[in-house]
Amino acid sequence: MWKEYSKSYIQNNRLSGLSVRIAAFISALLLSLLCGVFYNLWKYEVERIVLEEGGWQSRIAGSFSPEEIEAVRNFASVKDMVVRDGTGEGAASYGKQSYVEQGDGQESETVIDLYFDRYGAVLKDTPRIAELAGASPEQTAYHYGLLAMYLIRHPSDPAPRLLFPLFLLITGIASFSLIVIIHNSFVLSMNARIHQFGIFSSIGATPRQIRTCLLQEAAVLCAFPVVAGNLSGIAGSMGILELTNRILGGEVPGRHKAVFGYHPLVLGVTLFVTVLTIWISAWLPAGKLSRLTPLEAIKNTGELQLKRRKNSRILGLFFGMEGELAGNALKAQRKALRTASLSLVFSFMAFTMMECFVTTSDISTRETYFERYQDVWDIMVTVRDGDGAAFEEINEIRALPGVESVVAYQKAMAKRVIREEEISEEMKSFGGFSHASESVVTKVDGGWMVNAPLVILDDSSFLDYCEQIGIPPCLDGAVVRNLIRDVTDPDFRHVQNVPYLNTGSTGEGTVSILMRPGSEEMAEVPVLCYTAEVPLLREEYATLDYYQLVHFLPVSLWEKIRGQIGEGEGELYLRILGGENVTLEQLNGLQERIDSLLAGKYVTESENRIQEYELNGRQIQGMKLIFGGFCVLLALIGIGNVFSNTLGFVRQRKREFARYMSLGLTPENMGKMFRIEAMVLAGRPVLVTLPLAVVVMGLMLKMSYIAVGEFLAQAPFVPIAVFMAAILGFVALAYYLGWRNVRKISLAEVLRDDTML
């Protein structure tokens, strides 16, 4: 049947398969892109885990004799192993062929990192290996993060580790969404020939033969688009990775460069998912069509009918009879245009929401980050395990050309009790500690225990800070940030700060008793000043825990009290200012010099303000580009469907138009009808999206406390209008081509048509 019928049909009706081809291409492209990007995200994550945590799959710790280690090495599924002492030093690799005797053979605390031939053997064989080596189950450990990347979960792993399942879920959702969207293209193509399949059925074609024929046709129509879409998807995922590397490459601290990879298995999975998606999309209408009785099918003239009487009052009111006819025609074509409507509405909605969301996010980031910290920092260096007291390189950095000021600071956490009488009147006016959660404020005898974050500045910077706030420079005490926000006002963007403590009764000369969290140990620190002014640091204070009482203290004082208070967070921060009107090139040069100065001595990460600002801009642009690309692809499905529909007008609607013509409708009247149809089709996404966008954006602005006027001043009207105009333009073009074909219809010929009953 395929040879006899479908081949010639496809050859002679290339345009009728256009929508199917476009749908198949875009489906293959999207799924291939998705699979390619997911595979590379997965690969990157595996590489990151291996780089940061090592590539071992399970581990046994304990005291092992050389014989036991040898036994482990000889275990069938073990590919490789690394034996280390407990401190992580003296590691030796023990491949199957390269066993090296360890030391003098004495037993010591040893860790054996195990690498297996197959990931599937890890959970099953590790307990056996541990037993073989005489280790208890408690002495075994699994690399949960790495194993989870291969969908291997150990029951004792508490983390959800949803990355891989999330990839699978998104692919599944994408596949299902595509089925919903593209199966209509097949419906349209197949339904156009119900009458012909009725003829086949009447001369003895079985339902199975009809279904097979339709599926073979779909396979032929989709073969090239699937291959082309898959290849384009692979190229697209390569492009996205390259784009990501260009945007983020080397500029995000701790990020390693992503190298594009493509496993044959991914190609297999992608092809399988694509073919399955398209097959289901084709099978649904093919199955339905094959189940029609010959009588039902043969009576089908392909003409669009209204199932029940419906009036298009609004269109009739605005555009007269042509409006009513256009409205009825659109209702009759509702099924045929479902793909177009859905994909155009979704694409426009997604694009609009994305643009609005990005704009809101951009305003928020700019206000809360870039503008707020514009003059506060130029370069930030994070020194891992740095100790402010011992950090001598600060003077070398200060001496570097182009450096205006450097602050080295650490952070630590302490607790402090605030007594009732210390609370300011302003704070009392909004209820004191009555709104505080027990997790941050604890009621104790005589007051409330609050968190007291300590910001430990290098001595020189602390003295500068004293000058900044107008107190005599002194290293013997702390400066306390005496501010608390009005906790009853949730507007985080326009925070109303009031004095925290009543400095009238607890002014200078008092002490702050700082306690080690979870301990009875404490230290008395003289308070130099309570102030609302903070040092110029890229820090936010009391943002989550509003009741924090922040203390700034010099590192020399911290050295004296750290024994009682405890250790800091282990990281030392360097805030560097490079002078006014500094350029990106100057900052990059300075950053390089600082990095090279610290290289070899410390593990550091550095960032600079202008670079970060530009990076942020590029990230947003990249995200818009990728997401916008998806929206365009989605819109293309819809536009392809509209073209396919309008190009089939002569076949599908000639009787309808012939009737109109026989009643005296002029080509101009029909042109108007087409314009109305195009306008409704292209206008629907706008009508659906705009009210929704207004509601969603209203909520979003309310939640983010951005003023409507501020948003409107930067609202993405232009890109949204361009997207809308593109949809309108393509739909108008499709209808224009349809109208041009319809104008060629000969009234006499159509009225003579044998099936026109």
Partner 1 sequence: MEILKCEALRKTYGSGDNQVKALDGIDLSVSKGEFVAIMGASGSGKSTLLHILGTVDKPTSGKVTIDGTDLARLNRTEAAIFRRRKVGLVYQFYNLVPTLTVRKNICMPLALDRKKPNTEYFEKIVSSLGISDRLDALPNQLSGGQQQRVAIARSLIYRPALLLADEPTGNLDQKNTREIMDMLKLSHRNLEQTILLITHDEKVALEAERIITIEDGHIISDEHRGEVKSLS
Site residues, partner 1 (CB under 8 A): 1, 3-5, 8-9, 12-13, 196, 198-209, 293-295, 298, 754-755
Under DSSP, is residue 557 helix (H, G, I), strand (E, B) or coil? helix
Decide whether 116 or 197 has the Cβ nearer to partner 1. 197
Decide whether 203 or 265 has the Cβ nearer to partner 1. 203
Decide whether 295 or 712 has the Cβ nearer to partner 1. 295
Where are the strands (E) in 487-548, listed by range? 497-498, 511-515, 522-531
Under DSSP, is residue 213 helix (H, G, I), strand (E, B) or coil? helix
Min dist CB 197 to partner 1, Å, is 10
Decide whether 162 or 751 has the Cβ nearer to partner 1. 751
Contact 614, 584 (CB under 8 A): yes
- Amino acid, res. 279: W
- In terms of DSSP bridges, do strands 140-142 and 551-554 run parallel, antiparallel, or are they unpaired? unpaired
Residue 25 is encoded by which pair of tokens? Answer: 């291409």
Decide whether 708 or 751 has the Cβ nearer to partner 1. 751
Decide whether 3 or 494 has the Cβ nearer to partner 1. 3
Residue 42 is encoded by which pair of tokens? Answer: 């997965």
Q: Which residue is associated with the tokens 């020399």?
A: 556
Residue 63 is encoded by which pair of tokens? Answer: 């005291």
Side-chain-facing half-sphere of 229: CA atoms under 13 Å: 26
Min dist CB 291 to partner 1, Å, is 8
Min dist CB 621 to partner 1, Å, is 50
Min dist CB 2 to partner 1, Å, is 10
Q: Mind giving me the DSSP string for 323-382? A: HHHHHHHHHHTTTTTHHHHHHHHHHHHHHHHHHHHHHHHHHHHIIIIITTTTTT-SEEEE
Residue 643, CA distances (Å) to 124, 348, 678 in order? 57, 18, 11
Decide whether 196 or 405 has the Cβ nearer to partner 1. 196
Min dist CB 11 to partner 1, Å, is 9
Min dist CB 751 to partner 1, Å, is 14
Min dist CB 211 to partner 1, Å, is 11
Q: Between helices 207-248 and 609-647, what is the axis angle to 10°?
A: 160
Decide whether 155 or 204 has the Cβ nearer to partner 1. 204
Min dist CB 755 to partner 1, Å, is 6
Min dist CB 746 to partner 1, Å, is 13
CA angle at 682 for the pair 676 and 686, rounded to the nearest 5°: 120
φ, ψ for residue 705, nearest 5 deg = 55, 40
Contacts 24+ apart (CB under 8 A), 715-721: 715/356, 715/359, 716/355, 716/356, 716/358, 716/359, 719/351, 719/355, 720/351, 720/352, 720/355
Decide whether 139 or 301 has the Cβ nearer to partner 1. 301
Decide whether 159 or 203 has the Cβ nearer to partner 1. 203
The whole-angstrom distance between residue 442's C-alpha and the CA centroid of its chain comes to 38
Min dist CB 294 to partner 1, Å, is 4
Min dist CB 667 to partner 1, Å, is 25
Min dist CB 296 to partner 1, Å, is 9
SS3 labels along 417-444? EEEHHHECHHHHHCCCCCCCCCCCCEEE
Contact 398, 509 (CB under 8 A): no
Decide whether 145 or 648 has the Cβ nearer to partner 1. 648
Decide whether 208 or 744 has the Cβ nearer to partner 1. 208
DSSP lists the bridge partners of residue 449 as 417, 442
Residue 332, CA distances (Å) to 78, 93, 311, 315, 677 in order? 67, 73, 12, 15, 12
Decide whether 185 or 300 has the Cβ nearer to partner 1. 300
- Which residue intervals of 291-335 are DSSP H helices? 294-299, 313-332
Residue 225 is encoded by which pair of tokens? Answer: 């688009």
Min dist CB 16 to partner 1, Å, is 11
| Max intra-chain CA distance, the chain | 108
